[in-house]
Amino acid sequence: MSKEPVIELVVFRVPDGGSEVDLFVDGVLCQAVEYHIDPGRGADCASWQERLEANLAEATPAARLRLQQIYDSIEPIYLWERG
């Protein structure tokens, strides 16, 4: 029986700023692709749609499925309530 890999995600977030993410698998730093979905961040409809399409196009099938689930669950009124 093979041992499950140890996956560690280190997230450093600067308050009201960006974030850095490091992914380690069995103690080895690996390349990580980040997809940030923050419907309250003030994006307008066009830029939100552009980012959504880019995320879905770039993602692996497994990540794309999860991204689509999240995008489908977001209430449109919440996204555009600020105008």
C-alpha angle 60-42-31 in degrees, rounded to nearest 5: 30
Identify the band that residue 22 occupies on the pLDDT scale cut at 50, 70 and 90. Answer: very high
State the pLDDT at residue 10.
Answer: 95
| Alpha carbon distance 10, 34 (integer Å) | 12
Comparing 21-25, 37-41, 54-58, 66-70, the range with the smallest average pLDDT is 37-41
- Domains of the chain, by residue range, sit at 1-32, 37-83
State the pLDDT at residue 5.
Answer: 95
**Considering the chain, what percentage of its residues have pLDDT values greater than 70?**
84
- Tokens 């308050």 map to which residue? 15
| Beta sheet of 7-13, edge-to-edge order | 7-13, 19-25, 28-30
> Per this entry, what is the length of the chain?
83
Do 49 and 38 form a contact (C-beta atoms < 8 A)?
A: no
42-82 pLDDT, tens digit per residue, is: 667 788 888 899 999 999 999 999 999 999 988 655 555 55
What is the value of pTM for the model shown? 0.71
